[in-house]
């Protein structure tokens, strides 16, 4: 007969089950579930989360019926255990723990050893045959209760403890004798009296209610509120309270405690894996004062217990159908399980476990797909810091591109290339990178910048290269003299540092890195993923090399080729500059002629790799001044190369300067002012497509116009492209089908998407720019306030990392709806950085897009995220 608000659990009699997580909390539901399975759980009961809600609504008190239910369940527990709470002779001791439906580790309060008082401590001493243990337990209880329930500063108890140790000349708590602990208990009680004017409560029932109040009260402590805000935990009505009989692993050599995983969390091997310590409490294992033993030792030392553990983990894994992370305690030779939960694991392990569990018949393929987090795949694809390394970072920036890298500091791209040629590993350290630095970025192991956010040039390019990058590291100050300061410490050129691009950490010196092998399991898993995946995944790639990598990772075409990235390679930049600096159209056309064969070479290479897949090529996007050198020295060099007067060159360069280049003369605006650029690019695309077609390659070019804000911009350039293509078809007598579409990255484009859709063959959402403009944030400057915004909870996430569905997403939906309202079959994709971020990818699928496109190394992440999104949608 279950109560309404209190759920009992024991081997014999359990009211709850795991499906009741909402009202029992995660911990309470799991305790109930394990009890029902007949596992040895110290019995107890759970007060539901509804009571937490009632507690707050009822002026922090309880209606009589609830009080009655709690006491009835306590009686039931006492009866089952054959003990009485706080009894003088044979005391029942309990723990009082919080436990909400969503795990909030360390956020709320816990009281252990409840039931001890001046008398029952003697009973415990008798029973346990250890006075030291009993008084140490009492001491801990008073400290915990005094702090958590009464609200006395924790430091005041610590001070008493420290003084006692000092007076005895000892440094470890473990060296305290029984008499010392007794003294401490006395002083603790004095402290309580002094602070509250009342004695420490001796009545166990009073202790119990005080602790329950404290746990419910901690639901709304500032720390817990903040945690929920930061982690977007909403819709919970409160925490449950778990009251459970205590077991002790520190009662002697036949007692002990340990943690174990049902499979190896590092590599996923199906082997029992964990550590234990005899005569110890949980915190001893964690604190590292004594070195725990691998659980395999237990097989020799205590085969009976070991066999039990193996049986239990099989039961639990079979039941939860996932790898389990378990805590256990052995009390006087008897095994108890205290907790089980799905175990954390590396990406490698996640894949292996998922695949194995399908093959073992534990999971369906769909279930297995849901068991691997898309972000875990990152670990598989990049080198990472060896888990055995124990390090402290000296600064933290944004985790701009995952993986790890070690190398010598260099401050210029040229130096990076020079050193790399000598076989040296280098880290390129810059305020921010620019397209001119591409060569140096490619040569470097990793990139560290002091400004710029998750979609800064450094971040975007590094991700495209699959190269580690820490961006916007505010603690980095670059000095002019080949030195820099990181968090106040000076570093010179060639000093060694390590970057962790997955966390954003910067570490002094050299750490060991590991690279994980991509196993056959990965391929099998991704095959299953692709069976569920509902829409295409393309890649953002600018070179045949990147395209090849992406194909290996499963890309089904290119969603974005940034033609301007090709403009920096080798001598091309000089032709580009000649074009920019030309006085008139004739001069530009002359320079563009030189670029034409180079662009054709690029496109030809990409088309060959992408045989049979669509290739979306974006026309020139960045403002022209990005291609010009900035310093007088470089300008003088350029003046000589292209034979232009330096002063004139400088004037021209200055005239191209923009106050807000992100909102300036770029994208289609450039091509409208200088249609000859679009003509050259269209010509390069069409001609190289015709060439590879002759070789039997299936080529599907999609020409993409950037930064469209009005229908007429699109029409203007569409006509330029069509005219050029017709000329070429007429000249060659050959033809090829191609599409002309547009980026949707200007807020206004979303609002007039119906008009643009009448003209365009496809849309591709450029969510980097769309985020910049919808928020009014410059991706290069927002680093100053965005981290603070996220920390203060003003924004849930950096919107350049995770798509802002509320605002930017609303604009996208307007764009999609309007576009499809005039052209129901309009092909729509995304090629912003969000195209490789799992929650954003899910949004894109649900919004009705036809594909997502992301950097090559994120392709597997997007594939998995899409499969999961589909499965979630089908289930809902």
Catalytic residues, by residue number, are: 457, 831
CB-based contacts of 7: which residues, under 8 Å, 6+ apart? 14, 15, 16, 20, 24, 28, 32, 45, 46, 48
Binding residue (CB under 8 A) for its own copies from 781, 802, 820, 871: 781
Q: Any contact of residue 787 with its own copies (CB under 8 A)?
A: no
Binding segment toward its own copies, per CB under 8 A, in 92-100, 123-131, 584-592, 793-801: 793-801
Report the chain's C-alpha Rg in angstroms: 33
In a 10 Å sphere around its CB, with 0-12 CB exposed, 13-18 middle and 19+ buried, how is residue 530 labelled? Answer: middle
**Cα 177–chain centre separation:** 47
Which of 693/748 has CB closer to its own copies? 748
Give the Cα separation of 620 and 506 in Å (integer): 35
Query: Min. distance of Cβ 663 from its own copies in angstroms?
Result: 4
3-state SS string for 312-365: HHHHHHHHHCCCEEEEEEEECCEEEEEEEEECCCCHHHHHHHHHHHHHCCCCCH
HSE at residue 618, side-chain half, CA atoms within 13 A, is 32
**Residues 553 and 857: beta-carbon distance below 8 Å:** yes
Give every strand in the sheet of 476-478, ordered side by side: 476-478, 483-486, 489-492
Which of 22/451 has CB closer to its own copies? 451
Give the Cα separation of 296 and 726 in Å (integer): 75
Binding segment toward its own copies, per CB under 8 A, in 105-113, 125-133, 603-611, 802-810: 802-810
Binding segment toward its own copies, per CB under 8 A, in 90-98, 205-213, 774-782, 865-873: 774-782
Give the Cα separation of 220 and 200 in Å (integer): 25
Query: Min. distance of Cβ 662 from its own copies in angstroms?
Result: 4
Binding residue (CB under 8 A) for its own copies from 168, 594, 748, 797: 748
Give every strand in the sheet of 110-114, ordered side by side: 6-9, 44-47, 240-245, 94-99, 110-114
- β-strands 6-9, 44-47 pairing: antiparallel
Query: Min. distance of Cβ 667 from its own copies in angstroms?
Result: 8
Query: What is residue 91's three-state secondary structure?
Result: strand
Q: Any contact of residue 34 with its own copies (CB under 8 A)?
A: no
Q: Any contact of residue 788 with its own copies (CB under 8 A)?
A: yes
Query: Min. distance of Cβ 815 from its own copies in angstroms?
Result: 12
Q: Any contact of residue 782 with its own copies (CB under 8 A)?
A: yes
Binding segment toward its own copies, per CB under 8 A, in 108-116, 220-228, 276-284, 711-719: 711-719
Which of 127/751 has CB closer to its own copies? 751
Binding residue (CB under 8 A) for its own copies from 475, 658, 734, 817: 658
Query: Min. distance of Cβ 795 from its own copies in angstroms?
Result: 7
Query: Min. distance of Cβ 223 from its own copies in angstroms?
Result: 19
Query: Min. distance of Cβ 673 from its own copies in angstroms?
Result: 6
Give the Cα separation of 833 and 567 in Å (integer): 22
Largest CA distance in the chain: 105
Which of 334/651 has CB closer to its own copies? 651
Binding residue (CB under 8 A) for its own copies from 785, 791, 821, 872: 785
Query: Min. distance of Cβ 769 from its own copies in angstroms?
Result: 7
Binding residue (CB under 8 A) for its own copies from 775, 817, 820, 839: 775
Which of 254/805 has CB closer to its own copies? 805
Binding residue (CB under 8 A) for its own copies from 218, 519, 664, 790: 664
Q: Would you state the structure tokens that stand for residue 135, as one six-digit string? A: 């008084």
Q: Any contact of residue 435 with its own copies (CB under 8 A)?
A: no
Query: Min. distance of Cβ 459 from its own copies in angstroms?
Result: 14
Binding segment toward its own copies, per CB under 8 A, in 131-139, 279-287, 411-419, 668-676: 668-676
Q: Any contact of residue 752 with its own copies (CB under 8 A)?
A: yes
Which of 518/795 has CB closer to its own copies? 795
Site size toward its own copies (CB under 8 A) is 51
Which of 546/769 has CB closer to its own copies? 769
- β-strands 505-508, 395-396 pairing: antiparallel
**Residues 498 and 511: beta-carbon distance below 8 Å:** yes
Q: Would you state the structure tokens that stand for residue 833, as one six-digit string? A: 């950085």
Taking CA atoms, 296 is separated from 308, 331, 337, in Å, by 13, 19, 18
Phi, psi of 305 (to 5 degrees): -60, -45
Binding residue (CB under 8 A) for its own copies from 726, 794, 848, 874: 794
**Closest to 506 in 3D by CA, of 396, 388, 390, 391:** 396
Binding residue (CB under 8 A) for its own copies from 576, 774, 861, 867: 774
**Residues 322 and 313: beta-carbon distance below 8 Å:** no
Phi, psi of 828 (to 5 degrees): -130, 135
If you search the block for the tokens 């940034």, which residue do you land on? 562
Query: Min. distance of Cβ 822 from its own copies in angstroms?
Result: 15
- β-strands 293-294, 384-385 pairing: unpaired
Binding residue (CB under 8 A) for its own copies from 424, 789, 822, 846: 789
Q: Any contact of residue 772 with its own copies (CB under 8 A)?
A: yes
Q: Would you state the structure tokens that stand for residue 288, as one six-digit string? A: 């590292």
Q: Any contact of residue 225 with its own copies (CB under 8 A)?
A: no
Query: Min. distance of Cβ 719 from its own copies in angstroms?
Result: 12
If you search the block for the tokens 């394990």, which residue do you land on? 34
Binding residue (CB under 8 A) for its own copies from 183, 778, 850, 868: 778
- Helix axis angle for 632-642 and 572-581, nearest 10°, is 90
Which of 299/781 has CB closer to its own copies? 781
Q: Any contact of residue 669 with its own copies (CB under 8 A)?
A: yes
Q: Any contact of residue 227 with its own copies (CB under 8 A)?
A: no
- Helix axis angle for 838-846 and 859-875, nearest 10°, is 50
Binding segment toward its own copies, per CB under 8 A, in 50-58, 463-471, 611-619, 740-748: 740-748
Binding residue (CB under 8 A) for its own copies from 102, 170, 751, 822: 751
Query: Min. distance of Cβ 814 from its own copies in angstroms?
Result: 9
Which of 153/788 has CB closer to its own copies? 788
**Closest to 820 in 3D by CA, of 756, 743, 749:** 756
Q: Any contact of residue 239 with its own copies (CB under 8 A)?
A: no
Q: Any contact of residue 663 with its own copies (CB under 8 A)?
A: yes
Contact mark string toward its own copies, 372..391, x via CB under 8 A: --------------------
Query: Min. distance of Cβ 659 from its own copies in angstroms?
Result: 4
Q: Any contact of residue 713 with its own copies (CB under 8 A)?
A: yes
Binding segment toward its own copies, per CB under 8 A, in 123-131, 373-381, 391-399, 744-752: 744-752
Q: Which residues of 442-469 are buried (b: 16+ CB within 10 A; e: fewer)?
A: ebbbbbbbbbbbbbbbbbbbbbbbbbbb
Q: Any contact of residue 769 with its own copies (CB under 8 A)?
A: yes
Taking the alpha carbons at both ends of the chain, their separation in whole angstroms is 34
Which of 54/774 has CB closer to its own copies? 774
449-488 residues in contact with its own copies (CB under 8 A) are 477
Phi-psi region at 332: left, alpha or beta (left = phi > 0; alpha = psi -120 to 50): left
Q: Any contact of residue 747 with its own copies (CB under 8 A)?
A: yes
Q: Which residues bind its own copies (CB under 8 A)?
A: 432, 477, 651, 658-665, 669, 672-673, 707, 709-710, 712-713, 716, 745-748, 751-752, 769, 772-778, 780-782, 784-785, 788-789, 792-795, 804, 806-808, 810-811
């Amino acid at each position: 007969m279950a109560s309404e608000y209190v759920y009992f659990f024991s081997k014999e009699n359990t009211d709850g089950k795991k499906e009741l997580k909402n009202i029992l909390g995660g911990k309470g539901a799991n305790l109930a579930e394990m009890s029902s399975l007949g596992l040895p759980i110290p019995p107890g009961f759970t007060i539901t989360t509804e009571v937490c809600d009632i507690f707050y609504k009822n002026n922090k008190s309880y209606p009589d019926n609830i009080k009655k239910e709690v006491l009835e369940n306590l009686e039931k527990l006492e009866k089952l255990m054959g003990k009485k709470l706080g009894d003088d002779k044979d005391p029942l001791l309990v723990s009082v723990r919080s436990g909400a439906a969503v795990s909030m580790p360390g956020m709320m309060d816990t009281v252990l050893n409840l039931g001890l008082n001046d008398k029952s401590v003697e009973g415990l001493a008798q029973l346990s045959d250890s006075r030291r243990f009993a008084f140490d337990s009492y001491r801990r209880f008073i400290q915990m209760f005094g702090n958590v329930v009464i609200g006395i500063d924790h430091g005041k108890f610590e001070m008493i403890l420290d003084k006692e140790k000092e007076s005895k000349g000892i440094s470890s708590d473990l060296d305290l004798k029984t008499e010392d602990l007794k003294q401490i208990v006395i002083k603790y009680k004095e402290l309580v009296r002094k602070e509250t004017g009342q004695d420490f409560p001796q009545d166990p029932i009073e202790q119990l209610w005080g602790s329950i109040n404290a746990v419910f009260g901690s639901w709304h402590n500032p720390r817990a509120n903040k945690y929920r805000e930061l982690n977007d935990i909403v819709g919970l009505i409160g925490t449950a309270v778990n009251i459970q009989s205590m077991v002790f692993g520190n009662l002697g050599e036949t007692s002990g405690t340990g943690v174990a995983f049902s499979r190896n969390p590092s590599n996923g091997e199906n082997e029992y894996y964990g550590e234990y310590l005899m005569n110890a409490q949980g915190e001893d294992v964690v604190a590292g004062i004594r070195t725990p033993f691998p659980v395999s030792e237990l097989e020799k030392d205590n085969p009976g217990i070991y066999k039990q553990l193996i049986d239990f983990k099989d039961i639990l894994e079979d039941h939860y159908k996932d790898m389990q992370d378990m805590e256990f305690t052995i009390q006087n030779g008897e095994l108890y399980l205290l907790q089980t939960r799905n175990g954390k694991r590396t990406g490698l392990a996640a894949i292996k476990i998922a695949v194995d569990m399908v093959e073992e018949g534990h999971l369906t393929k769909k279930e297995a797909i849901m068991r691997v987090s898309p972000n875990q795949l990152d670990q598989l694809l990049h080198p990472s810091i060896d888990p055995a390394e124990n390090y402290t970072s000296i600064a933290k920036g944004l985790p701009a591109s995952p993986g790890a890298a070690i190398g010598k500091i260099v401050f210029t791209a040229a130096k990076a290339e020079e050193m790399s040629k000598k076989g040296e590993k280098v880290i390129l350290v810059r305020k921010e990178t620019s397209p001119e630095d591409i060569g140096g970025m490619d040569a470097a192991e990793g990139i560290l910048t002091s400004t710029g956010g998750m979609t800064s040039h450094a971040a975007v390019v590094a991700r495209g290269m699959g190269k580690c990058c820490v961006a916007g590291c505010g603690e980095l100050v670059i000095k002019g003299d080949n030195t820099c300061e990181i968090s106040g410490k000076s570093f010179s050129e060639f000093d060694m540092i390590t970057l962790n691009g997955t966390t954003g950490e910067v570490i002094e010196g050299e750490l060991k890195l590991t690279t994980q092998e991509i196993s056959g399991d990965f391929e099998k898993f991704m095959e299953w993923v692709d069976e569920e995946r509902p829409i295409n995944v393309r890649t953002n790639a600018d070179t045949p090399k990147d395209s090849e990598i992406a194909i290996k990772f499963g890309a089904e075409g290119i969603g974005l080729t940034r033609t301007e990235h090709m403009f920096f390679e080798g001598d091309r930049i000089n032709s580009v500059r000649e074009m920019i600096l030309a006085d008139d159209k004739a001069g530009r056309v002359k320079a563009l002629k030189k670029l034409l064969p180079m662009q054709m070479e690029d496109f030809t290479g990409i088309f060959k790799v992408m045989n049979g897949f669509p290739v979306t090529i974006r026309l020139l996007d960045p403002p022209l001044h990005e291609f010009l050198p900035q310093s007088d020295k470089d300008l003088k060099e350029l003046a000589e190369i292209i034979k232009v007067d330096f002063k004139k060159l400088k004037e021209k360069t200055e005239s191209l300067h923009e106050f807000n280049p992100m909102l300036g003369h770029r994208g289609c605006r450039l091509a409208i002012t200088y249609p000859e650029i679009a003509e050259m690019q269209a010509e390069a695309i069409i001609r190289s497509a015709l060439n590879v077609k002759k070789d039997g390659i299936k080529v599907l070019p999609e020409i993409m116009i950037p930064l469209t804000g009005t229908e007429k911009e699109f029409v203007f350039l569409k006509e330029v492209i069509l005219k050029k293509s017709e000329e070429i078809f007429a000249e060659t007598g050959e033809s090829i089908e191609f599409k002309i579409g547009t980026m949707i990255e200007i807020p206004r484009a979303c609002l007039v998407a119906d008009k643009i859709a009448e003209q365009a063959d496809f849309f591709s959402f450029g969510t980097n720019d769309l985020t910049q403009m919808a928020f009014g944030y410059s991706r290069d400057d927002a680093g100053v306030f965005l981290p603070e915004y996220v920390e203060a909870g003003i924004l849930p996430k950096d919107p350049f990392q995770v798509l802002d569905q509320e605002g930017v997403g609303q604009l996208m939906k307007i764009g999609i709806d309007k576009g499809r309202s005039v052209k129901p079959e309009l092909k729509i994709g995304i090629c912003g950085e969000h195209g490789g971020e799992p929650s954003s990818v899910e949004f894109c699928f649900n919004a009705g897009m036809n594909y997502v496109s992301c950097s090559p190394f994120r392709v597997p992440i997007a594939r998995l995220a899409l499969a999961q999104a589909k499965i979630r949608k089908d289930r809902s």
